[in-house]
Amino acid sequence: MRIRNAMTALGLVAMLASAGYATTAAAAPSATANSAADTIKTFDGDYGITNDNGFELPAIPIQKVKPQFRRQIVAYKSDEAEGTIIVNTRERHLYYILGNGEAMRYGIGVGKQGFSWSGTAYVAWKQEWPNWHPPKEMAVRRPEIAKYVDGGMNPGLSNPLGARAMYLYNDKGQDTLFRLHGTPEWASIGTAASSGCIRLINQDVIDLYSRVLPGRSTKVVVIQ
Q: Are strands 164-169 and 175-183 parallel, antiparallel or unpaired?
A: antiparallel
pTM score: 0.83
Identify the bridge partners of residue 41 per DSSP, sorted by sequence position: 73
Identify the bridge partners of residue 72 per DSSP, sorted by sequence position: 42, 105
Q: Which of 143, 175, 145 is nearest to 160 (CA)?
A: 145
Per-residue model confidence (pLDDT) at position 143:
83
The verdict on whether 197 is a catalytic residue reads: yes
Tell me yes or no: is domain 37-125+163-220 CATH 2.40.440.10.
yes
Chain centre distance of CA 141: 23
How high is the mean pLDDT in each 10-residue block of the chain (224 residues)? 36 33 42 68 98 97 98 97 96 97 97 74 97 80 82 89 96 92 96 85 98 96 90
Write the CA distances from 138 to 7, 17, 114, 157, integer angstroms: 21, 6, 14, 21
Go through the chain and tell me how many residues it has: 224
Per-residue model confidence (pLDDT) at position 6:
37
Q: Which of 16, 123, 197, 198 is catalytic?
A: 197
The verdict on whether 181 is a catalytic residue reads: yes
Per-residue model confidence (pLDDT) at position 23:
36
Q: Which of 126, 179, 181, 199 is catalytic?
A: 181
Q: Half-sphere exposure of 111 toward its Cβ, with a 13 Å CA cutoff?
A: 24
